[in-house]
């Protein structure tokens, strides 16, 4: 089942909030080696987990199977603040343009059999 939650809605579900940030840590810090994001609590949280972010979660068999975050381009986002070298010129922005980030599939769901 797919859920789309605002940051506030995600924070109201501590079980999902923790599962999301632990999955992100596992994927981006442990597997991909993004050491700038290391934290002793094992949670991957950044400045873009703000009130306007939308978090999309896939829950299968009661477990977090997948995740992605959507950021509005009407305010600062990864492409304008962190990854400027990936885009030449000014990135597109507007109320109907969203940046999709932090794609993650939990290890146990990557084979497509669950």
**Per residue in 5-31, pLDDT tens?**
999 999 999 999 999 999 999 999 999
Virtual CA dihedral for 84, 74, 72, 50, nearest 10 degrees? 90
**What's the predicted TM-score (pTM) here?**
0.86
62-91 per-position pLDDT tens digit: 999 999 999 998 877 666 666 667 778 787
State the chain's mean pLDDT as an integer.
Answer: 90
Would you kindly state where each structural domain of the chain is located, as residue ranges? Answer: 2-107
CATH 3.20.20.140 describes domain 2-107: no
Q: What angle do CA 24, 8, 42 make, to 5 degrees?
A: 25
């Amino acid at each position: 089942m797919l859920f789309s939650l605002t940051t506030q809605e995600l924070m109201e579900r501590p079980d999902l909030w923790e599962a999301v940030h632990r999955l992100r840590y596992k994927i981006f810090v442990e597997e991909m080696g993004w050491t700038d994001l290391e934290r002793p609590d094992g949670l991957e949280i950044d400045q873009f987990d703000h009130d306007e972010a939308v978090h999309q979660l896939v829950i299968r068999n009661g477990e977090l199977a997948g995740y992605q975050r959507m950021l509005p381009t009407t305010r600062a986002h990864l492409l304008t603040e962190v990854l400027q070298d990936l885009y030449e010129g000014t990135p597109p922005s507007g109320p109907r343009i969203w940046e999709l980030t932090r794609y993650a599939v939990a290890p146990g769901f990557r084979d497509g059999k669950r």
